[in-house]
Chain A
Amino acid sequence: MTDALEIRNLRKVYAGGFEALKGIDLTVRRGDFFALLGPNGAGKSTTLGIVSALVNKTSGQVRVCGIDQDRDPEGVKRMLGVVPQEFNFNDFEKVHDILIQQAGYYGMEKGLARRNIEKYLRQLELWDKRNDQVRMLSGGMKRRLMIVRGLIHEPELLILDEPTAGVDIEIRRSMWAFLERINREGVTIILTTHYLEEAESLCRNIAIINRGEIITNTTVKELLLQMDRSSFVADIKGDFGRVPADNPYLMQLREDGSIQFQVHRGDNLNQVFELFARAGIEVVSLRPRTNRLEELFVDIVQADQPQPDGAVIRQPAVAGGNV
């Protein structure tokens, strides 16, 4: 079976001369739940914009479900559902009208359109809002409405550019459950997000893009296996000054009085507890400093910073890093 998305040597130079994509390659298999991660301005939206025909590419190839974007642009669009990063509604239109209209652009008969609209509005808890103008919806509701709009024609590949930005945690959880469900039902999903917890819990495969280049492309599992250390935060009772400063765990006192430390792969947390115990310190609670993926992400992106002489040192931040 053909891949859901195949990007070959994709370049984008914006009108001002800025090179936002420097010839990227990316493959997303059918049925995948794929995360495209990267810091602000990395080129995520540019990439997804080109796939969804909202941005002109400078060169390169894009194929969706085996269809070449240059040969059959309409064919590609039929396969795609697009949820952009920025709201792009006419604020004075009503929810239901927008969706009927969108279904019309996809050539859907009204009856089928109405059924899908009701199904997805109910699933994303917007059915009560169907007769409201968009301007009366909250930000989180607009995000969900964009998802309904992108799904109305039942696409093969759903592209979500920061679908959960500004959405409260409860709704975010229910959106995750919804996305997992449609993914199980066969829709391939690509999303960008700055919440790495989201990528970790939803996605199977990940690409990290930085300054217009893909610097990592692997499975979430493998990426996490590559982690050679984890950071923890411990709340303690006792005098931190009594812990020997030359310990191998890079212990630091944080502003709130808790202790931050790192444990390398193969190290044993018991050793850390012993160290505390010897200093007469009680460990009251312990938690990971950040989400694991977040820690990796920061490492990988930091290792990709340009050096003063302009060269980029691509030293793998993590053992076996696919950089």
Chain B
Amino acid sequence: MWQYRIAFQAIAGKEIRRFLRIWQQTLIPPVMTMVLYFVIFGNLIGRRIGEMGGFDYMAFIVPGLIMMSVITSAYGNVSSSFFGNKFQRSIEEILVAPVPNYVILAGFVAGGVTRGIMVGLLVTVVSLGFTSFAIHNPVIVLSVILLTAILFSVGGFINAMYATKFDDVALVPTFILTPLTYLGGVFYSIELLPPFWQWVSQLNPILHMVNAFRFGVLGVSDVNVWAAFGMIAVFLTVLVSWAMWLLKRGKGLRS
């Protein structure tokens, strides 16, 4: 990796400058959305709900909403940026240069992770205006957020490799990510569900990430936190191998 430090910095730096330059489109909207969630679900409806998982409803949903914004931002950053490069063919600038595939992937993922974490931080700061919480286990908090951001950045990369038009970039977030996130225990503890649906929910990887993160913040979880880490590791391995395989074949990049 050291040998390719400059190439990595070039790709990652460009990715980060890109979303910072258009911060009104990349950093502000996710924060706005979350403020609405805090106001409507947390404050207005939450007051009627009372407690969830032993916590004030507002405090319960904050970790899930932070995760949700990290996931969407990381995925969206890489999928739209990489697809844009492909669409304009400026990706060829990287393809002709001596940059190994893993450095290309790492560079774009670094961009997605940085945006995901920046949005996550902004949402966290804003959430402090609505509730307060102490962090139960900072190591878990940081590692879950980082791994999740990496995982979904790689996911966005794969999406962009397959995409042939701009619409294809929105497909996965709309039909897979959003439903899985809403059903992933962001707004409720799965203890509320009948046993069968509890079991089905366990198949949803995002449920595990959200709960691992919530455990790090609040100290409560619907699932085994170590199993959640195992799950993230498995998904990460699969997605990274998938992305590397696509790069090697030049899927959508080389005819």
Contact = CB atoms under 8 A, between A and B. Distances in A.
Interface of A: 14-15, 52-56, 73-75, 77-78, 80, 82, 84, 86-91, 93, 98, 101-102, 104-109, 149
What DSSP secondary structure best describes chain B's contact surface? helix
8 contacts: A53-B96, A53-B254, A77-B96, A77-B98, A88-B88, A89-B88, A90-B84, A107-B98
Q: Ordered nearest first, which 5 A-B pairs have the shortest CB separation?
A: A104-B10, A105-B97, A88-B89, A74-B98, A77-B98
Given A77-B96, A90-B84, A107-B4, 6 more contacts: A52-B96, A55-B255, A56-B255, A73-B98, A74-B99, A87-B89
A1 B97 CA distance: 24
- Residue of A14, A15, A52, A107 with most partner-chain B CB within 10 A: A107
Interface in B175-210: none
Contact of A54 (B4, B6, B10, B96): B96
B94 A105 contact: yes
Given A101-B93, A104-B6, A109-B6, A91 B88 contact: yes
B250 interface: yes
A89 B87 CA distance: 11
A175 to B, nearest CB: 20
B85 interface: yes
Contacts of B4: 107
A55 B8 CA distance: 23
Nearest to B14: A101
A54 B7 CA distance: 19
A71 to B, nearest CB: 14
B98 A88 contact: no
B196 to A, nearest CB: 46
Given A14-B255, A56-B255, A105 B85 contact: no
Nearest to B9: A104
Contacts of B84: 90
A89 B90 contact: yes
A78 B88 contact: no
Contacts of A55: 254-255
A91 B87 CA distance: 12
B95 interface: yes
A15 B90 CA distance: 22
A74 B14 CA distance: 21
Given A107-B6, A108-B6, A102 B254 contact: no
Interface residues of B, number: 28
Query: Which of B3, B94, B100, B255 has most A Cβ within 10 Å?
Result: B255
Contacts of B13: 104
A15 B255 CA distance: 7
B21 to A, nearest CB: 10
B92 interface: yes
Q: Which of B4, B84, B89, B249 has the largest number of chain A CB atoms within 10 A?
A: B89
Interface in B5-19: 5-7, 9-11, 13-14
A90 B254 contact: no
B255 A90 contact: no
B89 A102 contact: no
B93 A149 contact: yes
A88 B6 contact: no
Nearest to A93: B90
A74 B100 contact: yes
Given A53-B96, A56-B250, A56-B255, A105 B90 contact: no
A55 B10 CA distance: 24
Nearest to A57: B254
A106 B98 contact: yes
B96 A82 contact: yes
A89 B7 CA distance: 18
A87 B90 CA distance: 9
A56 B250 CA distance: 8
Nearest to B10: A104
B92 A75 contact: no
A80 B92 CA distance: 14
Nearest to B91: A88
B127 to A, nearest CB: 35
Nearest to A56: B254
Given A53-B254, A55-B255, A74-B100, A90 B95 contact: no
Contact of B92 (A54, A93, A98): A54
Contacts of B95: 53-54
A107 B254 contact: no
Contacts of A89: 88, 90
A109 B72 CA distance: 35
A155 to B, nearest CB: 10
A101 B8 CA distance: 11
Contact of B7 (A52, A56, A90, A105): A105
A78 B13 CA distance: 22
A98 B95 CA distance: 15
A195 to B, nearest CB: 25
Contacts of B3: 107
B97 A106 contact: yes
Nearest to A92: B88
A84 B95 CA distance: 12
A80 B96 contact: yes
Nearest to A150: B96
Contacts of B14: 101
